[in-house]
A and B are shown apart, each in its own frame.
Chain A
Amino acid sequence: MSTEFKLLKRVLSRYSTPMTLNYPSSVVPERKYSQIPSGLRGVPERDRDKCIGCRACYFACSGRATEVIDEGNKRVIDIFLFRCTFCAHCQEACPEEAIKLTERFEVAFPRDEPGAHVSTELDLLTCERCGRPYATKRMLERTYERLMEKIDPLVKETVSNDYRKLIGYCPDCRRANSVALDTHTKKYVWLEGV
């Protein structure tokens, strides 16, 4: 019986003041939530003007919660929150730090209420030769800027006007324009004067 009295003494002394939070109500604000640390992985948010539509988050998403829908000249990048597990792989993969996991974790969606999607819309450029949409405008600008930063100055001049020559075409048309298969020697030959 002695341990029961020891237990009773300990319970009465230490555990009689409840550690309960008053969660749904904010009568005492600091006792509403258990804790919201700075790095909490909550609902992701995508910054509309930083995102360049490069689909890095789409490839990094292991749970296949991110979808990229290209129709017409619109590219929609959409995270379906019901499949997202808030693992922050997309935040790591994004070159532009456009997507960031906020600290909002209190998400409950009744059945008929929409809103379980985080989507941004970007306009797609269509290729001048075959008219197929191939990349977003902002992506081309960003790649050009990065190219210019990283390239060593000697080659910079030739590369930039080559780049400007091919800027308006989709990858297939670029290949068709710049290279042709010489049937005789079975080799690809550079076309001059595109």
Chain B
Amino acid sequence: MKFATDPKLLEFVKEICPDGLEYRQLHENRVAVRVRVEDLEGLADLFIKFGARLIHATAIDLEMKGFEILHIYDFSKVRERLVIILEAHTERPEVPSIGKVTWQARWAEREMKELLGIEFVGMPDERHQFLPYEWPEPVEGGAQKGSEFIPMNMPITEAYQTLIPIGPYHPGVIEGQTVYVKVEGEDVVAADIKTGFHHRGIMKLIERRGYGRGVFAAEKICGICSGAHGLAYVTCVENLYESEVPDRALYIRTLLAELNRMQSHLLWIGVVADVIGWKTGFMLTWGLRERVMDIIEAITGNRVNYGVWRVGGVSRDVPQELAERARRAVEGLKEECSELLALVADHPVVKSRLIGVGKLSYEQAFDGGAVGPVARGSNWKMDVRADNPPHAIYDPKLISWEVVTDNGCDSYARTIVRVKELLVSAGIVSQCLEHLSKTTGEIRAKPRSIPVGAEAVGLNEAPRGELAYYIRASDRDENLPQGIRIRTPSYRNNAVLPLMLVGCNLADVPVIMGSIDQCLACTDRVEVIGENYRRSMGWEELVAMSRRASRW
């Protein structure tokens, strides 16, 4: 299946943008536009008003040659399948901030400021995103003073207000993040989030492994949606060159991506049932989830990290009789899931705990840049599988599926969206297995060499929302990328969380945090900066350090 690039695209982009800019057509309807740093803000305003959505604002450190600021916009709402990458080159790390223009760039700019040392002029929120708040004062032995006092913009004014840290260790939250909630009595007045407890510097680890073996590290970012990360990384690398992935490999990729979504949604429904105190809901949904895990384990050999994704295809074939057996199992599982989840969804007490809790209107979702079920729960028909599909089978002619939305705009709507999505995924899985059990074919194409200076954006619909990878090929070393940037869905949903928390009851805070199904391991996966903290490391130092580390 050749990845068509639409010729009329360039004319469309030229109409929108002011003239006198340099355009470059990338693979699969992505257009790179080279602009000056000054008019970044103007263009951002123009695009947002036009109806585009900022996927990610990031930067690549070209060490001697300064920085390259990248703003990636998705136009799928306005014109089907178009992604524009604005590239601005700058020597000095002072860049005008677009945080005021769109809420979506706030977290991205905080991340760039603290980890690449780029100063943003006029940034609405200067605090650290992933590092302890009092960085760069050296944190002796890792004891983080920051967690005690938080210079937040939530001063305690009245007497009856209290500041409750729902801290890194809280049974309601599986992972480590601190949500600071200012409470009057039991009602939440203001909220803020401190992430960074999972900060492992994975992006630099992936860069140091080269293209082929980077998949190994990309899968380890998040235990629940490891399939989605594998597919997104592989799609991004294949976008770098004219890739030709065999058909059977595409079907196996779709199969694994949808199985991953099924087990992730079943897991989530169990966790929310547990958070509102309903152990039976937890037990029954996790009992069903074991059946999905059996199918995944039979196909890939491991329940969590599938280890099957390779650039140019898949490393393990699905024998036909196993596919047939799995299809029958999925059919049985499908109506059992629909019956049980129908009962779970309209249980009166579950409804009373979820309806009207964690409200997020359509405007808030669009401005804040919510993704995935959180956006679809607020009546925004947005799904990467329909807009910019990854290298897997998602076009409606081959596999019938549809995007599920709900206009409830609250936690209950998000629950309904995830339940229906689960059944849609089960449909896709049985169709894929049916096709796999009938046909055979080779599953891996030989990867060709990466052209110098190529760049690519890989998008995929993870269970929690849109997952974006950006890779810039290095212009010197044939196998090592210049830089990899990852923007995970929970990164966006977490940024929107304070909007939902305001005005809810203290008992509902874990429920709302559960309703966006956040995955903290995804949110903190970022860059490396040097030991002497003050200045970000140059390319030679980074490569020298990594060479010492990895023996080349």
A/B contact in complex, CB under 8 angstroms: yes
In angstroms, Cα B550 to Cα A137, docked, is: 27
Interface hit among B234-242, B295-303, B412-420: B295-303
In the complex formed, the residue of A with least CB distance to B307 is A87
In the complex formed, the residue of A with least CB distance to B217 is A62
List the B side residues contacting A3 at CB < 8 Å.
343, 346-348
In the complex formed, the residue of B with least CB distance to A103 is B301
- CB of B122 within 8 Å of the partner chain: no
In angstroms, Cα B347 to Cα A6, docked, is: 10
B300-356 with Cβ < 8 A to chain A: 300-302, 305, 307, 315-316, 339-340, 343, 346-348
Asked whether B307 lies within 8 Å of A88 as measured between CB atoms, the reply is: yes
- CB of B287 within 8 Å of the partner chain: yes
Q: Smallest Cβ distance from B205 to chain A, in angstroms?
A: 9
Q: Smallest Cβ distance from B256 to chain A, in angstroms?
A: 14
In angstroms, Cα B315 to Cα A48, docked, is: 26
List the A side residues contacting B297 at CB < 8 Å.
35, 37, 40
Known A-B contacts A19-B287, A64-B550, A87-B216; A37 and B301 likewise in contact (beta carbons under 8 Å): yes
Known A-B contacts A39-B316, A86-B302, A88-B301; A34 and B343 likewise in contact (beta carbons under 8 Å): no
Q: Smallest Cβ distance from A67 to chain B, in angstroms?
A: 11
In the complex formed, the residue of A with least CB distance to B215 is A62
A1-56 with Cβ < 8 A to chain B: 1, 3-4, 6-7, 10-11, 15, 19, 34-35, 37, 39-41
Asked whether A63 lies within 8 Å of B343 as measured between CB atoms, the reply is: no
Asked whether A10 lies within 8 Å of B305 as measured between CB atoms, the reply is: no
Asked whether A92 lies within 8 Å of B301 as measured between CB atoms, the reply is: no
In angstroms, Cα B216 to Cα A63, docked, is: 8
- CB of A85 within 8 Å of the partner chain: yes
- CB of B445 within 8 Å of the partner chain: no
B338-390 with Cβ < 8 A to chain A: 339-340, 343, 346-348
Interface string of B214-234 (1 = CB under 8 A from A): 001100100000000000000
List the B side residues contacting A7 at CB < 8 Å.
343, 347
In angstroms, Cα B307 to Cα A63, docked, is: 13
Known A-B contacts A40-B301, A85-B305, A87-B305; A6 and B343 likewise in contact (beta carbons under 8 Å): yes
Classify the interface of chain A: helix, strand, loop or mixed.
Answer: loop
Q: Smallest Cβ distance from A78 to chain B, in angstroms?
A: 15
Q: Smallest Cβ distance from B266 to chain A, in angstroms?
A: 15
In angstroms, Cα B347 to Cα A41, docked, is: 41
Asked whether A11 lies within 8 Å of B302 as measured between CB atoms, the reply is: no
- CB of B145 within 8 Å of the partner chain: no
In angstroms, Cα B305 to Cα A154, docked, is: 49
- CB of A83 within 8 Å of the partner chain: no
In angstroms, Cα B298 to Cα A139, docked, is: 36
Partner of A34, one of B213, B220, B287, B294: B294
Count of chain A residues with a beta carbon within 8 Å of a chain B beta carbon: 26
In angstroms, Cα B316 to Cα A101, docked, is: 14
- CB of A165 within 8 Å of the partner chain: no
- CB of A104 within 8 Å of the partner chain: no
- CB of A175 within 8 Å of the partner chain: no
List the B side residues contacting A35 at CB < 8 Å.
294, 297-298
- CB of A60 within 8 Å of the partner chain: yes
List the A side residues contacting B284 at CB < 8 Å.
11, 15
- CB of A117 within 8 Å of the partner chain: no
- CB of A74 within 8 Å of the partner chain: no
List the A side residues contacting B346 at CB < 8 Å.
3
In angstroms, Cα B315 to Cα A19, docked, is: 33
Q: Smallest Cβ distance from B347 to chain A, in angstroms?
A: 5
- CB of B209 within 8 Å of the partner chain: yes
Asked whether A4 lies within 8 Å of B307 as measured between CB atoms, the reply is: no
- CB of A89 within 8 Å of the partner chain: yes
In angstroms, Cα B271 to Cα A93, docked, is: 40
Asked whether A10 lies within 8 Å of B343 as measured between CB atoms, the reply is: yes
Interface residues in chain B, defined as those with a beta carbon under 8 Å from any beta carbon in chain A: 209, 213, 216-217, 220, 280, 284, 287, 290, 294, 297-298, 300-302, 305, 307, 315-316, 339-340, 343, 346-348, 550
Task: Give 21 A-B contacts (CB < 8 Å), ordered by A residue.
Answer: A3-B347, A4-B347, A7-B347, A10-B343, A11-B284, A15-B287, A35-B297, A37-B298, A39-B300, A39-B301, A40-B301, A40-B302, A41-B301, A60-B213, A62-B209, A62-B217, A85-B216, A85-B305, A87-B216, A89-B216, A101-B301
